[in-house]
Structure 1
Amino acid sequence: MTLKKRIVILFLLCSMIPFVSIGIISFYSIDSILSNKVRKGYENNLAQVEMSLENTFSNLNHVSQQLAFEGTIGQQLGQLLSTREPFERSQITEQLKSQLSLVTFTNPNIGLILYHFTSDKSIKFENFPVKDDFDLDKLPLLAQYYGISYYGPHISNSRLDNQYVLSALRKVDLPDRDDVYIYIESGLHLTQNLLDSDQYGNAVSHLILDNNGRIAYTELPDQYRRNEIFADNRGGMMSGSDDANYWFKIKSAQGWSIVSIVSKTKYDMEINRWYVQMAVFSLFFVLIAFGLAVLLWKMLYNPLNKFNKEIKQFNPNSPHTQDATDPTRIPEFDHLLLHLRSMKEQIRDLFREIERKERVRADLEVEKLLYQINPHFLMNSLDTVHWLAVMNGQTEIDKLVLALNKLLHYNLGKLGQTTTIGEEVEALRQYLILQQIRYDFQFDVQILVDEETMNTMIPRFILQPLVENSLYHGLNDDGYIRVQIRKAEQIEIQVQDNGAGMSPETIRQLLDSEQTAQRKAGLGIGMNYVKRMLAAKYGEAARLEIQSEPGEGTTIFMLLPAEEPQGTDEIA
């Protein structure tokens, strides 16, 4: 998985886990609150409708009492029915109509009022025109008690309107007749306004049940048919559900019930609206978190890209150039970028140092090939001279050839290989034997070596050129050469003589690699070899110095690390 994906996923997890945790807790809390709120809303609305219907029925009952025999109008009706004299009947009739008009005027929630005579099914004293198909048996009966019948919502029997109304039928209880009833309807539009007076508009439908739990009125005839028994007819506020709807039912004191029906889709609309809002908010939050994660990735990607450019621009063979990348403006990355550039410079320096050492190594190999002869032929020839000298009793020649043979055997080995200080000192002794035979004067040679340094590894053939330098610069019969090797923090080698000395210009020429390289032979080649060998094996850790003044002798100092040299071995 890439770093970008890890950053985005980790950031989203860190951002979303608290949000999801709070969201879950909020979900259950708010879901419970909203559910209770919606439930209570429907229940309160149902209670208001039930109360309004009860008030309507109570109002119908109150008006019917005025029209019954106990009331003034009912007594006037009794007088009318018992009087046979036309004039008196006319007066009573006018009074009845006037009283009925007054009742209608003073009770705006009352609609149709009439007296119904069941014996001949006649209608008298109606305040509005009555439809021809008026039939009490067709009306949805809700409840009967105390001689009053209450009818649920039905189409008004008035010709003036086709709205739903509530109605009541009450016996007048005349002393000499029992077929006279008062029929009263609620006002026009009153019933529909009561059923529609909920806070959810058209979301709620209603059922009205009679005393037996039978559906007397339904606004959903396809799902709940008239005269069917509803699911539950217990008293009090109840609720339940079926496949498609939730319902809330309340039973009135008179025994009839009203049921509010709401579809599950509409019931859950408010909760679903909150779900949608939470989903939108969550999506918005996720987008913000994702955007912040991408921004964080860019904050990391740009510095990483700069590091990538720095690495791609690095070429150890190219000269140092100004770095092309700009600062990242992030202190931590700028600090690392600075260290990277410093590391690049160090790597360039290391490459240059390796190239320099490789050039020194190549020069040494060429020089060795130029001056190397066939060692087997030379050794065999010297062995022959040695045995001839022994056979003829030539002691000096035998000594000379034996020393030369040992010296050549040592010097003609692999120049680049390391050797011990003990072996190097022994080769130096053989070289001095040859030089004392060669020159016609005697000189004193002192070799002082600490025993603890005898097994220390050093490059081969680095002492002889130093001693050779003393011999070539004015050493006479009174001269001496002192070679001292000791070990402190480093290996200290000192070659001192009391010869003629050298000028600073001569010292510079001896240590100048370019001038010495132009020579085909001579002393400078040996000193240059020592200098280049130390540089190839030890680098800056070794040091070669010459101190000399004309007429005061010469001292050569050489400091070597105490550990074994790590340079590349040369091949013979």
Structure 2
Amino acid sequence: MTLKKRIVILFLLCSMIPFVSIGLISFFTLDSILSNKVKKGYENNLAQVEMSLENTFTNLNHVSQQLAFEGTIGQELNELLLSQKPFERSQITEQLKSQMSLVTFTNPNIGLVLYFFTSNNSIMFENSPVKDGFSLEKLPLMAKYYGISYYGPHISNSRFDNQFVLSALRKVDLPNHDDVYIYIESGLHLTQNLFDSNQYSSDLSHLILDNDGRIAYTDLPEQYRRNDIFSNNQSGMASGSDNANYWFKIKSAQGWSIVSVVPKTKYNMEINRWYVQMTIFTLFFTLIVFLLAILLWKMLYKPLNTFNREIKQFYQHSNHTHFAIVPTRIPEFDHLLLQLRSMKEQIWELFREIENKERVKADLEVEKLLYQINPHFLMNTLDTVHWLAVMNGQTEIDKVTLALNKLLHYNLGKLGQTSTIGEEVEALNQYLILQQIRYDFQFDVQIFVNEDTMNTVIPRFILQPLVENSLYHGLSDDGYIRVQIQMTNHIEIIVQDNGAGMSPDTIHQLLNTTQTAQRKAGLGIGMNYVKRVLAAKYGDAAKLDIQSEPGIGTMIIMILPAN
């Protein structure tokens, strides 16, 4: 999988997982909240309708009490029915009409009011013309108790009103008449206003159930027919659903019930609206996240492309060609590019250093070959001289040839091979044997080496040139050479003599010249050789220093890495 795909997928996962998690949590939370909100809204609306209907029935009951026998109007009606005098009946009739008008005027929520005689279906003292065919049997009975019958919403019996009303029928207990009732309807548009005065009016339909749970009034006659038993008649607030609708029912204290019916599509509309909004928001958020992932990839692609070009330039241009760095405008990447350019410079510097060391090593090989003229023939000849000296009893000659043979065998080893401090000290001893026999004066050589350091690996043939330097710079008969080798966290080799010493110019020439000293012949390869061997083997990790004063002596200090 490419880096681009990984970045896009990882960014999408990092962004979408928290979003989806929060979305799921909010979904279940808001779904519960919205469901409760909608349900509570419908239940509260239903409670308001139920309360309004109860208030309407209470008002009808209150007015009917004024018109019953216990009230003044009821008593005057009794007098009218008992009176046989026309004038008296006329006066009582006018008084009744006046009082009836006063009652209806002081109760604006009251519509049609009349006295109904069931014995002959006659009507008296109606405050509005009554439609023909008035009959109580046609009215939807809701409840009946304490001598009062309540009728659910029905078309008004007033000739001037075709709106739905609520009505009540109350028996007037007259002493001599048992067939007199007071009939009262609610005011114009009151019932419809009760159903429409809420935020869900356009979504709700209503059913009114009588005391037995039968449907006395219905807004949905095709689904809920009048006089059918409603499926649920439990007390208090209840709710349920059928195939197409949700319903909420509340039962009044008088025993009748009111049911609000809402289609499932309307009920879930607010929740579905939230679903749509969340879906749109999720798609929009996903698009934004995807665009940000692409932008993030582009932010990474340009610096990576720059890095790729830098690396290609590194191995394609062996002449160390420089190209201008194009800023990425991202500080971290610009810093890395500068570090990469710096690393390239260091690598090229290392290449040049390695090339120089290889050249030095090649020069040393050539120089050493100058001293290896037919080495095997020379050593075989010396071995022959050694055995001739032994056979003729020439111990001095035997000693010289044996020492020379060992020294040549060690010194003519392959360049680049390593040796140990013990082997270097042994070769130095052989060299000193030859030098003491060669020169006609005695000099003291003291070698101080810790036994623990004898197996430490160092470059081959670096001690003899230092001692040779002391011999060649004015060592007298009472002279001494002190060689001290010790090791702590590095190897320290000190060669000290009490010879003629050297001037600062001579010291500077020995330490800084790049040409092989040709003043001396034989085995004295010299300081240049040691200096170049250390440079080729250790680079700057090794140090070579000369401290000398004319007439006092010289001290050569060589410090090598311990490993």
TM norm. shorter chain > 0.5: yes
- Match for residue 250 of structure 2? 249
8 Å contact kept, 1:218–1:226: yes
- How far residue 162 of structure 1 moved from its aligned partner, in angstroms, is 0.8
Deviation at 1:228, TM superposition (A): 1.2
1:94-139: CA deviation from partner (whole Å, max 9, x where unpaired): 6666665555445433333445555655556544333334333222
Q: What letter is aligned with 1:212? A: D
CA contact (8 A) 2:247 2:262 kept: yes
Residues 420 and 234 (structure 1), Cα distance of their counterparts in 2 relative to 1, 3 Å cut = closer
Residue 484 of structure 1 is matched in structure 2 by 483
Encode CA deviations 1:188-245: one digit per residue, 9 max, x unaligned.
Answer: 222222343456544544322223222111223233221012234455x332323332
Q: Give % identity.
A: 55
Distance 1:58 1:115, change over 3 A: closer
**Distance in 2 (alpha carbons) for counterparts of 1:352 and 1:498:** 40
2:58 paired with 1:55: yes
Q: Is the 8 A contact 1:546 1:554 kept in 2?
A: no
User: Residue in 1 aligned with 2:164?
Assistant: 164
Q: Match for 1:447 among 445, 448, 453?
A: 445
One-letter amino acid matched to 2:241: D
Do the aligned residues in 2 keep the contact of 1:76 with 1:96 (CA within 8 Å)?
A: no
Displacement after TM superposition at 1:480 (Å): 4.4
Could you tell which deviates more after superposition, 354-363 or 130-139?
A: 354-363
Instruction: Tell me how far apart the structure 2 counterparts of residues 414 and 184 of structure 1 sit (CA, whole Å).
Output: 136
After superposition, residues 66-85 of structure 1 pair within 5 angstroms as 70-77=74-81, 79=83
Is the Cα contact below 8 Å between 1:466 and 1:556 reproduced in 2? no
- 2:231 and 2:97 map into 1 onto residues whose CA distance is 46
Distance change (3 Å), C-alpha of 1:149 and 1:464:
closer
Q: 1:517 to 1:156 in 2, by over 3 A?
A: farther
Q: Is 1:208–1:258's contact at 8 Å kept on the other side of the alignment? A: yes
3-state DSSP of counterpart to 2:226: coil
After TM superposition, the structure 1 stretch with the greater mean CA deviation from structure 2, 426-435 or 342-351, is 342-351
Aligned ranges 1:115-126 → 2 under 5 Å = 115-116=115-116, 118=118, 121=121, 123=123, 126=126
The CA distance in 2 between the partners of 1:482 and 1:175, in whole Å, is 161
TM-score of the superposed pair, with normalisation by structure 1 = 0.70
Decide whether aligned partners of structure 1 residues 177 and 26 sit closer, same or farther in structure 2, where only a CA change above 3 A counts.
closer
Taking only aligned residues, the RMSD between alpha carbons, in angstroms, comes to: 5.7
Tell me which residue corresponds to 1:570: none
Separation (CA, whole Å) in 1 of partners of 2:380 and 2:262: 124
Q: Contact conserved, 2:80 with 2:89, CA < 8 A, in 1?
A: no
Query: Does 2:219 correspond to 1:216?
Result: no
How far off is 1:529 after superposition? 0.9
Q: Deviation string for 1:22-67 (max 9, x for gaps)?
A: 9799879978985896477246414422322322431452354279
Distance 1:172 1:508 in 2: 145
Q: What SS does structure 2 have at the residue aligned with 1:226?
A: coil
Q: Unpaired runs of 5+ in structure 2?
A: none
Cα deviation for residue 312 of structure 1 reads 6.6
Distance 1:321 1:522, change over 3 A: farther
Alpha-carbon distance between aligned partners in 1 of 2:518 and 2:312, rounded to the nearest angstrom: 39
The answer (yes or no) to whether the contact 2:475–2:499 under 8 Å persists in 1 is yes
Secondary structure of the 2:130 match is coil
1:255-312 CA-partner distances (Å, limit 9, x unpaired)? 4343444556666778x599779979x989x99xx99x99xx99x989x989989997
Counterpart CA distance in 2 for 1:366 and 1:34 is: 100
After superposition, the Cα gap between the structure-2 partners of 1:467 and 1:336, relative to the gap in structure 1 and judged at 3 Å, is same
Q: Report the CA distance shift for 1:92/1:502 in structure 2 as closer, same or farther (over 3 A).
A: closer
- Rounded to whole Å, the distance in 1 between the matches of 2:508 and 2:495 is 19
Q: 3-state DSSP class of the match of 1:221?
A: coil
Quick check: 321-330 or 61-70, which moved more?
Answer: 321-330
How has the CA–CA distance of structure 1 residues 326 and 514 changed in structure 2, closer, same or farther, with 3 Å as cutoff? farther
Alpha-carbon separation, structure 2, partners of 1:110 and 1:425: 136
- Given that residues 466 and 527 in structure 2 are in contact (C-alpha distance below 8 angstroms), is that contact kept between their aligned partners in structure 1? yes
The 5 A counterparts of 1:16-31 are: none
AA in 2 matched with 1:155: I
Structure-2 change in CA distance of 1:425 and 1:445 (3 Å) = farther
What TM-score, normalized to structure 2? Answer: 0.71
Write the distance in 1 (CA, Å) between the matches of 2:250 and 2:263: 15
**Equivalent position SS for 2:465:** helix
Alpha carbons of structure 1 residues 461 and 76: separation in structure 2 relative to 1, 3 Å: same
Which has the higher mean CA deviation after the structures are superposed, 187-196 or 36-45?
36-45
Cα distance in structure 2, aligned partners of 1:170 and 1:536: 129
